Chain A
Amino acid sequence: MNVLVLSGYGINCENETLHAFEVVGFKGKIIHINDLIQNPKQLNNYQIFAIPGGFSYGDDTGSGNAMAKKIMTNLYDQLTDFSLKDKLIIGICNGCQILINLGLVPSLNKKDPEVALIENKSGSYECRWVDIKVSNNKSPWLINISTLNLPVAHQEGQFMIPMNLLKSIKANNLIGLQYINHHKKLAKGQFPFNPNGSKDDIAALTNQNGNVLAMMPHPERAFYHYHIPNWQSKTLKKFGDGYKIFMNAKKFFA
């Protein structure tokens, strides 16, 4: 099984993302977006398409926008095809912003983007660890996970969803992850549990098949036990919570 990790134009988490996939047993390659545009057919060699975090185009004109437009112009059909197959797509942080801007998630009306990620309510960049719960067990990425402790690091992580659409998102069970507080209850918008003021504490959305996951927190940065804050005071196994997401991908193809 092969994973393609996208790079270029300011994407910057490709090494650690690839590493996480490799440790759970995938083979993978980091491919520059321009090389992929040159030869889109190589997508056929891969079962997972991962868009890592970063600052593509410096977040100018809105995070994820410029890269999404580049993909839309050059690779949209191929990527849509990919998402319709028995394959997996994940977008983490900036990758999440790109998938949302592409409209591949939640993809309810199959055309323009329906959801936006806007600036954090705090108005500042937030790099901090959060607790989240899995709200949707049907996505292969999230199956059999209940809660996760992962870091976020973003300036624009607030999901903005029109009322009607939110209803259908809920009806279709497309909310992947939600921020929770220290009592393991939904954060209800309360900072810092919900770090960005996201509607309904949403931290991730999926498409209807659940094979495309757009998540703001970074599982690859919570991969080993020593990534976890204050790990020395805790009894931990070898891996952190982020490992579970990558393992799920492995199980999906097992």
Chain B
Amino acid sequence: MSAYIHEVPAWVIPVFVALVIVFALLRRVNVFEAFVEGAKEGVPMATRLVPYLVAMIVAVGLFRDSGAMDLLSHLLLPVLDALQVPAEILPLAVMRPVSGGSALAVTTELLHSYGPDSFIGRLASTMQGSTDTTLFVLTVYFGAVGIRKSRHALSVGLIGDLSGIVAAVFICNLVFG
């Protein structure tokens, strides 16, 4: 059974793609023409995003490379301690809302050094999967349509992230602890 579970994630997208194409062909849709028509919309969309991505990735890169991220982690240590977040997981908790690529890198590193089936490994996996990169989503979604006033969206995203982290720690302690 577990041999099949390994395969499941690899099958999700291919099966989905195949089902859609079979369905569309049965409905006599010109799949190639439809695909090209839709894909065209992606080009201007991605181009408009370049300046927003440069702005955000530069700020996040600076924050990490300058050591400010480590400093923030140290400052947050007592808070996360109170919430019973293990110290090993701290870099991930700080990184998750800020940078998707870095968070994935931290998760990979944690899974390598502690093992995916250790408590830290399971907690890191749960955290990684349960929220998305708030800053990236905000930048890209608002950037794409030129919204300047994001109102309460950032606070709401960060509250969601914090709740997700606390919930991940709680449920992992309960299930795997």
The judgment on whether A and B are partners is no
B residues bordering A, Cβ < 8 Å? none
